[in-house]
Amino acid sequence: MGLTKTEFFTERQNKTAMLLKALGHPARVAIIEHLLKVKSCVCGDIVSELPLAQPTVSQHLKELKSAGIIKGSVEGTSVCYCLDEKAFESLSAYFSHALTDLQNKNSTCC
Amino acid sequence: MGLTKTEFFTERQNKTAMLLKALGHPARVAIIEHLLKVKSCVCGDIVSELPLAQPTVSQHLKELKSAGIIKGSVEGTSVCYCLDEKAFESLSAYFSHALTDLQNKNSTCC
DNA sequence: TCGTTTGATTGCAATATTACGATTAACGAT
DNA sequence: ATCGTTAATCGTAATATTGCAATCAAACGA
């Protein structure tokens, strides 16, 4: 079918999956790592950093933006993209909690 | 094309993307949240917890396993699945570092 | 105004994912 | 051996994603 049954899962589960899915592509990982590295938020020369054509990069940026991982602001003729701290707070907390939960239950199996 | 150009990215970026992509689906988020919640590692009744058919769940479990997020061990006629701590350590560290990097650079844009 | 630059959008082909019915494989019990 | 249970696999249909050439739109400078 190819159609994810989102209606059967909780709002939170769908939201979490959306964030993670948006980051689940090497090009998009490369984009956020680049945005983390540079001081100023480099705007559109992300394209020249990546081994992909401009429309492809634009599409990846759109997905990251619609997932709430990056923000973009227009600056004259170019666009400034930078990371949205809230998304990283949320993901950091999610995995941090998961890890401590996991460590606290010292399961004997597997 | 539908063909991800993994050869142009670093090993680490590809690996990170693989982990995140594996978690980028509400059913798989639900699976790991269930495995986090239960004390014993519940084995195969994950199927009855999810609103999906058995082959579908089996396929999701396979993806989680091949990404290194869960481990499975056969117990007679049933299979015991549980979370792989290493994956969560890695992801927790990844986002924790990203967040502190992000907070330390107090960018003024966006 | 006109050209240039920047970045989004469109349209399309190739491939991947999602979901499930049907089947199969492996095991334990009778 | 046969049966029931559990879970993987096969096959297939529907849909989504990836990537890019071509094009478009907006903003700037000459």
Calculate how close chain A gets to B23, using CA atoms only, in Å: 6
1.10.10.10, 1.20.120.790, 3.40.50.300, 1.10.260.40: which CATH number matches B11-96? 1.10.10.10
Q: What is the pLDDT of residue B89?
A: 98
Give the whole-angstrom CA distance, residue A11 versus residue B91: 22
pLDDT tens, A43-79?
788 999 999 999 999 999 999 999 999 999 998 889 9
Predicted pLDDT of residue A40: 74
pLDDT at B44: 81
Answer yes or no: do A23 and B20 touch at CB < 8 A: yes
Of B17, B82, B98, the CB nearest to A26: B17
Across the range A21-28, mean pLDDT stands at 98
Task: Work out if B27's Cβ lies within 7 angstroms of strand C.
Answer: yes
From the alpha carbon of A45, which nucleotide's C1' atom is closest?
C6
Q: Which segment of A5-14, A69-78, A99-108 scores lowest on mean pLDDT?
A: A99-108
Q: Which nucleotide is nearest to B60 (CA to C1')?
A: C18
At residue A106, the pLDDT reads 74
Rounded to whole angstroms, the Cα distance separating B38 from B25 reads 20
Q: CB B80 to CB A16 under 8 A?
A: no
The stretch A5-13 carries a mean pLDDT of 95
pLDDT at B1: 75
SS3 for chain B is: CCCCCHHHCCHHHHHHHHHHHHHCCHHHHHHHHHHHHCCCCCHHHHHHHCCCCHHHHHHHHHHHHHCCCEEEEEECCEEEEEECHHHHHHHHHHHHHHHHHHHHCCCCCC
Question: A76: part of which helix (H) or strand (E)?
Answer: none
Domain positions in chain B:
11-96
For the domain with range A12-98, which CATH number is right: 1.10.579.10, 1.20.1250.20, 3.40.190.10, 1.10.10.10? 1.10.10.10
A105 to chain B, any CB pair closer than 8 A? The answer is yes
